Structure 1
Amino acid sequence: MAATEKFIDIDGRPLFYQVTGAGKPVVLLHGFAEDSTIWQHQTGVLQEHYRLIIPDLPGSGRSGSSEDMSMEGLAASVKQILDDEVQAGESFVMIGHSMGGYVTLAFAEKYPEQLAGIGLFHSTAYADSEEKKATRQKGIEFMLQHGAALFIQQTTPNMFSAAFKQEKPEVVGEIIDRYSNFSTESLVQYYRSMMARPDRTNVLEKSTWPVLFIAGEYDTAIPVDHVMQQSYLPSLSYINLLQHSGHMGMLEEQEASNKFLLDFLAGL
């Protein structure tokens, strides 16, 4: 089933998204230094049962940057897409990978009315620790000096488990090649916005909808223990562990990832 490609205009800047499938709407939000194509192995399975809305967040892929690149600003951009694509009163599910999970939580805080559930795929409601902020600041300094392409080349392999990198180095290389055209400005803005984002565990505590957590056993960006610590906060949680994945489970364990997503969505 071929996806329909669409653009909307936000203050003179294009915002790109894809729509495919039929059924209950499901929104998939990509992470840092990615775009909507990161979900390619999920789209073919999910579109058989659901209507997928998959944007390139502002500053990524075919979408221009927005004036507000905060997590809240990115959520507001997604809201404009959904105002066009989802009927008033119709509920939808939003699932975000990594930074996309931060945007999902910002969206859930500001626009909870139509949500039927949210998913945090290698993501967290915690704010950055001081150590994490320091690491991001070093990344910003590196990108400003050497550019986004070299930054992606050096950091992307760390997102995968050691076993996956050894077994499928071509996949890691393809991801590096695919996303090496990111602008330094966009990645720096994302990092600064992630550093500034607040703790949103209160969103989980107040949730009236189920929350999906997918963690990777070898994820060094979002450790399993961080996921487990917050998984008890919602009134209903679905907790799943990818036993062979780092931070890129949608690529590292495609079949298991798809099963977790389908089981969660079917349970709603």
Structure 2
Amino acid sequence: MKKTQLVVIPGLLSTHDVYRELIDVLGVAPFVADTLKDDTIAAMARRVLEAAPGQFVLCGHSMGGYVALEVVRLAPQRVAGLALLSTSPWPDSEEQTALRRRLVAMAGERGIAAVTKLMSDRLFGAATRTEDRDARNLDMALAVGPAVFARQQAAIITRRDQRPLLPSIDVPTVIVTGTSDQVIATERSQEMAAAICGARLIALPDVGHMVPMEAPEATADALQTLIATVEGAS
């Protein structure tokens, strides 16, 4: 953990707080990417590359995983290891895009809190959902706000299909999914693991979409193993 810089990328409507327990378990101070200013995944990825240290282990959750894959596409030499949490290489479907636009309209009409409360039922596994996690999720959403939410959804809607990229990824990679994820199916993680040479797949029982919050110890263990692999190969 001493030699390798960790870069973490939050997902939709998330701040650095989504990684709070994970960071505590790891005992490191990662670089937290800014996903609040841009309306394309490519622009978010370029911002990461402009601000992050020269080479790093990259961890992205959900939308942050879309950004992480774009970082790998743009500058593979900068990425020493890759962790993809609750994410997918697929582009948006028509149904997903229509839902995102309805949620953006709802946020403008009724506020971001109403959208967050609606989404929370699908974000956490039944066994891992707590009042504290619901409250923290709402706090993050309020901090992000409806304008940024609209930008982030626009970025997600227009993201590229990253499936052709996967076979070219040649750095140590770990893919973490919750078996109770209602947002991005575990099958997407299985597909990524099959397409990336040597990728390690970790499926966490009863965990939902918010893997860093719901299972910080297991996720930290996956990252520690990844970093040890990167450092052992250097």
**Please, what TM-score do these two structures have when normalized by structure 2?**
0.91
Aligned partners of 1:149 and 1:182 also within 8 Å: no
Deviates more, 1:175-184 or 1:223-232: 175-184
Quote the offset at 1:213 in angstroms: 0.7
What amino acid is the match of 2:145? S
Quote the offset at 1:207 in angstroms: 1.1
Aligned partners of 2:126 and 2:206 also within 8 Å: no
Aligned partners of 1:128 and 1:195 also within 8 Å: yes
Matches within 5 A, 1:212-227: 212-227=174-189
Give the match for residue 199 of structure 1. Answer: 161
Task: Verify: 1:245 aligned to 2:183, yes or no.
Answer: no
Task: Verify: 1:105 aligned to 2:47, yes or no.
Answer: no
- Secondary structure of 2:99's aligned partner: helix
Aligned partners of 2:193 and 2:201 also within 8 Å: yes
Quote the offset at 1:175 in angstroms: 2.2
- Secondary structure of 2:50's aligned partner: helix
Whole-angstrom CA distance in 1 between matches of 2:224 and 2:134 = 26
Quote the offset at 1:173 in angstroms: 2.1
Choose between structure 1 and 2: higher helix proportion: 2
Give the match for residue 10 of structure 1. Answer: none
Task: Verify: 1:23 aligned to 2:30, yes or no.
Answer: no
The answer for unaligned runs of 5 or more in structure 1 is: 1-20, 60-64
Matches within 5 A, 1:58-77: 59=36, 65=37, 68-77=38-47
What amino acid is the match of 2:205? Q
Q: Which structure has more RCO (C-alpha within 8 Å, separation ≥ 6)?
A: 2
Quote the offset at 1:159 in angstroms: 0.3
Quote the offset at 1:105 in angstroms: 0.8
Give the match for residue 6 of structure 1. Answer: none
Aligned partners of 2:13 and 2:140 also within 8 Å: no
Quote the offset at 1:54 in angstroms: 1.6
Q: 1:177-222: CA deviations, max 9, x gaps?
A: 3432322111011111101111101221111212211011000111
Give the match for residue 4 of structure 1. Answer: none
Quote the offset at 1:79 in angstroms: 1.1
Give the match for residue 48 of structure 2. Answer: 78
Whole-angstrom CA distance in 2 between matches of 1:144 and 1:43 = 33
Quote the offset at 1:36 in angstroms: 1.2
Quote the offset at 1:41 in angstroms: 0.9
What amino acid is the match of 2:42? E
Aligned partners of 1:242 and 1:257 also within 8 Å: no
Q: Which has the larger radius of gyration?
A: 1
The answer for unaligned runs of 5 or more in structure 2 is: none
Report how many residues are paired.
Answer: 230
- Name which of 145, 166, 172 aligns with 2:134: 172
Identical-pair percentage: 22
Choose between structure 1 and 2: higher strand proportion: 1
- Secondary structure of 1:163's aligned partner: coil
Give the match for residue 52 of structure 1. Answer: 30
- Name which of 122, 146, 159 aligns with 1:184: 146
- Secondary structure of 1:127's aligned partner: coil
**Please, what TM-score do these two structures have when normalized by structure 1?**
0.80
Quote the offset at 1:38 in angstroms: 1.2
Quote the offset at 1:101 in angstroms: 0.4
Whole-angstrom CA distance in 1 between matches of 2:190 and 2:108 = 35
